[in-house]
Structures are given as structure tokens and as C-alpha cells.
A and B are shown apart, each in its own frame.
Chain A
Amino acid sequence: MIPIILVSHGRLSYELLNSANMIIRNQIEDIYPVSLDEDTGIDTLKEKLLNISKKIKGNEVLILCDIKGGSPFNTSLIVFKNYNYKILTGMNLPMLLEILMNRNHTTLDNLGDIAVKAGALAVECIKL
């Protein structure tokens, strides 16, 4: 199973995982939410990510972050530079659900692709 890291400004990553868990139960193994908190800063975020890297078995990881170019994104790139990683930006719930449904039976490359497609496809402007 490909390990997943969710990383965000504030608690979004934790709540996104909670929301996913309302829809898909029992899939929360090997998923690690991480927050950048206003009162601590980048060094603490780096430490949290380093701790997670120790828990991950193997060299592969899929990282989801909220904003491309934000500190959660930048710091993840720095901490996981020697891993075989994919980083997805603009994470949302449909993206995460797609990952949870597929991560047992596909490659990291393919998982990244289908997650981005699902995430983008879910964003629409609807008017009745």
C-alpha cells in the first residue's frame, strides 16, 4: 500500500482525513496528516515531516498539499527529496477518496494521475 501524507496550512489535512473517513471507513492505515501551525512555524513542520518519514516503510510516498508553492509544499519537497515521491497540489476530498479506493492495486505514478483527474473533475460551477 502506498503511504499518503496530507499537509496543509492549519488543520485542513486532519479534517480532510476525518471527512474521508465518513465516506470510506477503515482505510486510514498509513495516512499521515500534518499541519503548519501559525504559532510554531517551519522548523516544527519540518520536524513533523521527518518523524513521519521514519514511520514510512519503503521509499515511495504520495504527498497531498493544499497550495502549490506554500510552505507545506516547499517543506515536503525538501524533506522527501531522496524519496520516490509524487506531490499533488490543491488537495480536495474527491481526490483523497479516489486515492483511498485505488492505492492498494496500482503504482505510485498511476495513482498520482488518477487522483489529479478525479480532483479536477470534481470542481465545477453549477447553476440550475
Chain B
Amino acid sequence: MIAFSRVDDRLIHGQVQTRWISNIRCNKIFIVDDKVAADPFIRSVLLLSIPNNIKLYIFTVDEAIEKISSAKDTSDRVLILFKTPVSVLRLMKGGMEIKNLNIGPMSSKPNAKYIVKNVYLLDEEIDALKELEKSGTNIYFQLVPEDRKIKLTDLKI
């Protein structure tokens, strides 16, 4: 089953490593990002970054569509990480629906707008989130499990 889906441009880091993995009790992580999938060095860093009892897979968006649908009916608990909501939208357009989408930290970058604490998004990323929300995805901002969830629909963006 898909236990949790999150957009986080740092992918695997302290918050995910120490809080979400244990909170969700996942045994597999899928990273879905075309650029990451194509970069052997970043792949090797990410593979080093996970605890020994978790299996990490790195997919392009196209590969992920098939992999996620076959993972849905297994007893595995899968955590899906995206670097950008644009990949989530592409996944949805490819036929793979994500019901609940957590937004974690997104770093500040040129042309990005401040959304909530530790989250900055580009226009195309905001548009992708709005389109996902319209199609029925429940989108909320939450860095760590103890934080209050802030729903996209509660923000004026």
C-alpha cells in the first residue's frame, strides 16, 4: 500500500529519516523524479542515506506510474517522495491518483514565493498543486508529524 506521499526538495534528510519513516512505519521508499533518476552520483548518495532496514527505489515519473500501481496491492508500506509537485501532476495525468499529498520543506530559490514556514514555491509548482487539488487530491503542508496540518484550501494563494 501507499502509506504516505510527500513533496520535499531535500528528499531524504533528518525530518524524513528520523520522524516520518518511523511515524509511517514504511519499509520501502520510492523517490520519483526524472533528474534524480538520471544522476548516478545523487542516486548513490541517496542509497547511502537510508536506514539499513528500508529499501529505496528511484524512478522516473514514467516508471513510477507502473511501479506504484503494482505496489498498491502488496503488504509493503511505501513512502513516496517527490522533489516537485509538477512530478505529482504528471503522475496523475498518467493515470496514477494520489489521494493525500503532504508538502514538506521546499527551499527558497529565484522566483519562488513564500507559502508557509520553510516552503517556497514557483508559479508552476503552485499551479500544479491547484490542479491536483481540483482533481481531488487533499493537499496539506506539514514539516514533521507534530506540526499542525495546513490545508492548501485554507491559504490565499
Chain A residues in 8 Å Cβ range of B49: 68-69, 73-74
**CB pair A74 B13 closer than 8 Å:** yes
Give the contacts of B28-60 with A (CB-CB under 8 A).
41-42, 45-46, 48-51
Cα-based distance from A41 to B50 in the complex (angstroms): 21
8 residue pairs A–B, Cβ–Cβ below 8 Å: A9-B14, A43-B107, A67-B14, A68-B17, A69-B17, A70-B14, A74-B13, A78-B42
User: Is the C-beta of A16 less than 8 angstroms from some C-beta in chain B?
Assistant: no
Residues of chain A whose beta carbon lies under 8 Å from any beta carbon of chain B = 9, 41-43, 67-74, 77-78, 81
User: Is the C-beta of B86 less than 8 angstroms from some C-beta in chain A?
Assistant: no
Residues of chain B whose beta carbon lies under 8 Å from any beta carbon of chain A = 10, 12-14, 16-18, 41-42, 45-46, 48-51, 107-108
**CB pair B14 A77 closer than 8 Å:** no
Nearest Cβ on chain B to A115's Cβ, whole angstroms? 18
**CB pair A77 B13 closer than 8 Å:** no
Cα-based distance from A71 to B104 in the complex (angstroms): 14
Nearest Cβ on chain B to A103's Cβ, whole angstroms? 24
A74-B107 contact in complex given A68-B51, A69-B49, A69-B50, C-beta closer than 8 Å: no
